[in-house]
Amino acid sequence: MRKLFRFLLKDENKHNSKRNSDRLKFVSGAGQDASIACSPYRVASCQSTGKERAHNEDTLFTLHTFLGGLEVPVAFGIFLVADGMGGHQSGELASNLAAQGISQYLIRHVYQSGLFERKSFSPADLERHLRNAVEEAQALVLRRVPGGGTTLTLAVVLGDAVYTAHVGDSRLYLVDPDGTLNLKTRDHSLVKRLVDLGEISESEAGHHPHRNVLYRALGQSDPLEPDIDTFTMGTGERLLICSDGLWGAVDQHAILNILNDGREDLDAKAMALVQAANEAGGPDNISVILVERLAI
């Protein structure tokens, strides 16, 4: 069971968000040829309780929409994984409330205003909306599940741009077309802090008795500051969002072998990742989301 380690640390390695002054339109970067309009993304997800847990405290959420028939097609995606903590009822409810609060806010303030009002957003606008969405989820968890908590790893996709918000130790990877796995989030865990300080090695962290202790998560009473990041997703690149039930049980080499196994079926890859975690003992709940940027 994951625990929240309550102490204040100065975060000296915050992810730096890319900034520019251009306004971003709520449209897909694909389909610039007026004769072609199709979804620029392919999405798959898979989940398992694992072999050692009686209940599932993970929540995953995917929303991928594409509206054609307009002068410029509209594409939008919300993808998140939340890994609850605090026992079955508290953890399950906390992760569900986080997904509920995040998705409702973004659908209301970003998707609907972009789709129906044709509003455009600057990077600063999107980052502000991500922070507000996390705050709304935090308020829900504090109000409804006192003593419970959850991780949160969120990606909002608009055209080529990916906007992320992250708290806890679920992870988001960007997979290059050549198969390189790039970690885009940082674990808010005690062992990660010890690794950063040079007190333990990466290999020792995997077996450390406090590897499930977090110092930042939704539901904590201390002021919450999510990591916000922005990057561009190129053709052929993929996002992998997962709970520690995957990355904690399956090493990166094995994850890459599955992602690069030559199969075109993205659903089969998501299922294979979950199966690999179960074959490694399935010590925790497992959640996987894959998002692929297509060549249009």
3-state SS of 42-97? EEEEEEECCCCCCCCCEEEEEEEEEECCCCCCEEEEEEEEEEEECCHHHHHHHHHH
Give the domain CATH number at 110: 3.60.40.10
Asked if residue 149 has pLDDT above 90, the reply is: yes
In a domain, 11, yes or no: yes
The domain tally of the chain equals 1
Q: What is the pLDDT of residue 36?
A: 63
For the chain, percent of residues with pLDDT exceeding 70: 78
pLDDT tens column, 159-173: 789 999 999 999 999
In a domain, 142, yes or no: yes
Model's pTM, two decimal places? 0.86
In a domain, 213, yes or no: yes
In a domain, 36, yes or no: no
State the average pLDDT over residues 62-88: 84
Q: What is the pLDDT of residue 263?
A: 80
145 near 137, Cβ under 8 Å?
A: no
Look up residue 178 and give its DSSP letter: T
Sorting pLDDT into bands at 50, 70 and 90, what band is 86? confident
Q: What is the pLDDT of residue 23?
A: 53
Look up residue 159 and give its DSSP letter: T
143 near 100, Cβ under 8 Å?
A: no
**Domain with 188 in it:** 3-31+41-293
Distance, in Å, from the CA atom of 97 to the CA atom of 82, rounded to the nearest integer, reads: 9
pLDDT tens column, 192-211: 666 565 666 566 556 655 66
In a domain, 234, yes or no: yes
Asked if residue 230 has pLDDT above 90, the reply is: yes
